[in-house]
Amino acid sequence: MKRKTQLIHGGISNDPATGAVTFPIYQVSTFKQEGVGGHKGFEYSRTGNPTRHVLEELIKELEGGKAGFAFGSGMAAMTAVMMLFNSGDHVILTDDVYGGSFRVMTKVLNRLGIDSTFVDTSKAENILTAIKPNTKAIHLETPTNPLLKITDIEAVAKLAKEHNLLTIVDNTFSTPYWQNPIELGADIVVHSATKYLGGHSDVVAGLAVVNSEKLAEDLHFVQNSTGGILGPQDSYLLIRGIRTLGVRLEEMEANTKAIVEFLQGHSNVKKVYYPGIETHPNHQIAKKQTRGFGGMVSFDVGSAENADKLLSKVKYFTLAESLGAVESLISVPARMTHASIPAERREELGITDGLVRISVGLEDVEDLIEDLENALNS
């Protein structure tokens, strides 16, 4: 099955009970048992729900793993994965991870004794230096948010195996349509499915896929015990979003390429960050491990004042957090998605006050370029 076909016919694509071509929403909390324990595979919807199960089977297949899990948000998925570890364990993470991922590690999980170190994982030597006797995993975000740095997943997974560590990849930006971390050696993939997988800014959800029966058993135990599950209606919306993922991403990729070319040629833009640019330091790795460079672009307009001017002029780029939807979005990471990262740390990372991030949508690219041009010229 090719990739666009798999998005539509993968997993359990219709309802065997009725023949309905879309799987129904099982809005139910509990299931009748024919005698104690005599159920048809479902007992209680926290433990398992048919609509969520269809979504979990679909993401499992798309990521090429052993089991999929759906959560109430990307952060719930990441937190559940971190609950696989114990007090006293240590995790290495990519330095410019999503601000919420930084926050949960340094303000919540640290209190439970899970220690973390953030390094530029695009350079393997940084990971090696950060490994401690109690390190259990390396958590990668690639491409990163908002600087679009790329980590070589295959190389890190190899290094992790040599040190008996798990490799976890946040695949939100690429999705399984462009990038398959498990094929490259990763053990766990997590998603903010709120983004490209949902694709329509109408659902908050998280997904995780694991590559072994043992991890599947352990993560299901955490999911059922801590209960951060995705409800049936949102599971349905996500299945629906995933069906059109391929066409959306192909079109967004084409729009993004044109916008990047435009931004590179504009005198008010100091720097453009996009892994598809040949001079991007990790361009070759991006080419090797992904089939598309994605629809996220960051660019520096020099100052917070310039960024504010740009934001006040654009018409088609909506000022909002989030990304990956049909409508183009614009944000200033330093004051929005990454505001939870302390200012000095942001400075170190290069998340400047003039850095603007766009998520390119499905509008006509001529309109998007004209919009940016008017705003930048003003």
Ligand X SMILES: Cc1ncc(COP(=O)(O)O)c(C=O)c1O
Stretch that binds ligand X, among 93-101, 207-215, 257-265, 364-372 (CB under 6 A): 93-101
Residue (192 or 328) nearer to ligand X, CB: 192
- Euclidean distance between CA atoms 197 and 369, whole angstroms: 25
Residue (39 or 200) nearer to ligand X, CB: 200
Our CA angle for 169, 52, 2, nearest 5°, is: 60
| Closest CB 170 distance from ligand X, rounded Å | 5
- Euclidean distance between CA atoms 184 and 330, whole angstroms: 32
Query: Among all residues, whose Cβ is closest to ligand X?
Result: 74
Q: Is 234 an interacting residue with respect to ligand X (CB under 6 A)?
A: no
Q: Is 275 an interacting residue with respect to ligand X (CB under 6 A)?
A: no
Spell out, one character per residue from 139 to 158, where the chain touches ligand X: x when CB under 6 A holds, - when not.
--x---x-------------
Residue (200 or 266) nearer to ligand X, CB: 200
- From the list 52, 136, 195, 357, the catalytic residue is 195
- Euclidean distance between CA atoms 235 and 51, whole angstroms: 6
Q: Is 170 an interacting residue with respect to ligand X (CB under 6 A)?
A: yes
Active site residue 170: yes
Q: Enter the tokens of residue 295.
A: 């629809």
Q: Is 331 an interacting residue with respect to ligand X (CB under 6 A)?
A: no
Helix axes 304-313, 365-377, angle to 10 degrees: 130
Spell out, one character per residue from 245 to 264, where the chain touches ligand X: x when CB under 6 A holds, - when not.
--------------------
Q: Is 74 an interacting residue with respect to ligand X (CB under 6 A)?
A: yes
* Residues β-bridged to residue 189: 169, 209
| Closest CB 329 distance from ligand X, rounded Å | 11
Residue (172 or 290) nearer to ligand X, CB: 172
Cis peptide before 146 (omega within 30 of 0): yes
DSSP state string for 98-154 = -HHHHHIIIIIGGGGT-EEEEE-TTSHHHHHHH--TTEEEEEEESS-TTT-----HH
Residue (76 or 269) nearer to ligand X, CB: 76
Active site residue 103: no
3-state secondary structure of 54: helix
Residue (101 or 235) nearer to ligand X, CB: 101
Closest CA to 241 of 136, 351, 326: 326
Among 45, 51, 73, 256, binds ligand X (CB under 6 A): 73
Looking at residue 334, the DSSP 8-state letter turns out to be G
* Residues β-bridged to residue 298: 273, 357
- Euclidean distance between CA atoms 326 and 368, whole angstroms: 13
Among 206, 232, 333, 361, binds ligand X (CB under 6 A): 206
- Euclidean distance between CA atoms 193 and 203, whole angstroms: 8
Stretch that binds ligand X, among 95-103, 232-240, 263-271, 343-351 (CB under 6 A): 95-103
- In contact, 239 and 360? CB cutoff 8 Å: no
Q: Is 298 an interacting residue with respect to ligand X (CB under 6 A)?
A: no
- Euclidean distance between CA atoms 63 and 171, whole angstroms: 10
- From the list 3, 4, 46, 66, the catalytic residue is 46
Spell out, one character per residue from 98 to 117, where the chain touches ligand X: x when CB under 6 A holds, - when not.
x-xx----------------
Q: Is 335 an interacting residue with respect to ligand X (CB under 6 A)?
A: no
Spell out, one character per residue from 174 to 203, where the chain touches ligand X: x when CB under 6 A holds, - when not.
------------------x-x---------
Maximum separation of any 2 CA atoms in the chain, in Å:
73
- From the list 89, 95, 96, 170, the catalytic residue is 170
Stretch that binds ligand X, among 72-80, 112-120, 254-262, 328-336 (CB under 6 A): 72-80
Element (H, E) at 356: strand 355-359
Task: Measure CA 264 to chain center.
Answer: 26
* Residue 62, phi then psi, degrees to nearest 5: -65, -35
Among 6, 142, 172, 289, binds ligand X (CB under 6 A): 172
Catalytic annotation, residues? 46, 98, 170, 195
* Binding site residues, ligand X, CB under 6 A: 73-75, 98, 100-101, 141, 145, 170, 172, 192, 194, 204, 206
